[in-house]
Amino acid sequence: MNKVVSNVKDALFGVKSNMTIMVGGFGLCGIPENAIKELVSMNINGLTCISNNAGVDDFGLGLLLQKKQIRKMISSYVGENDEFERQMLSGELEVDLIPQGSLAERCRAGGAGIPAFFTPAGYGTEVAEGKEIRVFNNKPHILESALTADFAIVKAWKGDTEGNLIYKDTARNFNPMMAMAGKTTIAEVEELVPAGELDPNMIHTPGIFVQRIFKGSLFEKRIEQRTVRKKD
């Protein structure tokens, strides 16, 4: 089954205001930047975004935040975005901060059809407020529900026409589980090859989880925090 669409506009067909979308990536690595820019141009709003982080002020999900297109962020790390901080503190943006491992597992559980699970992460903090608590092996655990989305938008290094995906390095952190958890999953790839060209042993996301795939363009390889050492 050929799942290729001709461009990002066709890939995002059906995405509307007030929907829940998952956006893959880790920091600025492995984010579907072409799709994010298209979402900005679509002028939709009221979005609930599930993403590990909120980008930076002028890149990634930060572009949607600038135009106040996001109503709620469900995320883990948001420390690099001044506009995010301003909107959160002013009450303009609803925020659900989740421990990073719990966020990953909630997405994975959603894709696996597991409605909820118990974890010790967050017990004794605000994360546990209003949630069921049970003790396993003499240790308190809180009940966390799975996460799913109307659309999951992921970024892969390579993909084929049947939607099979290979991620590169750090981009593998959140993209694979989010690809499983979307009712409709859109894959943005750097390289698009014919079916059968990818080594089956190297595929990270099987094409059964992907409904649309397109080849992106003009990828920008940004670095959030550049750390260097003095030359010897």
- The answer to whether 70 and 93 have CB atoms below 8 angstroms apart is yes
Kindly report, residue by residue over 190-210, the tens digit of the pLDDT.
999 999 999 999 999 999 999
Do β-strands 212-215 and 94-97 pair in parallel, antiparallel, or remain unpaired? unpaired
pLDDT tens digits, one per residue of 28-86: 889 999 999 999 999 999 999 999 988 888 899 999 999 999 999 999 987 778 899 89
Return d(Cα 52, Cα 27) in angstroms, integer: 7
Strands 70-75 and 212-215, by their bridges, are: unpaired
Domains, in order of start, for the chain: 8-115+147-215 (3.40.1080.10)
| Residue 36 neighbours by CB distance under 10 Å | 24
Cα(53)–Cα(22) distance, integer angstroms: 11
Closest CA to 50 of 83, 22, 24: 22
Instruction: For residue 39, give the DSSP letter.
Output: H
HSE, CB side, 13 Å, CA atoms: give it for residue 151: 24
Q: Please list, in sequence order, all residues whose beta carbon lies within 8 angstroms of the beta carbon of residue 84, skipping any fewer than 6 positions away.
A: 54, 62, 65, 73, 78, 93
> pTM, whole model, 2 decimals?
0.91
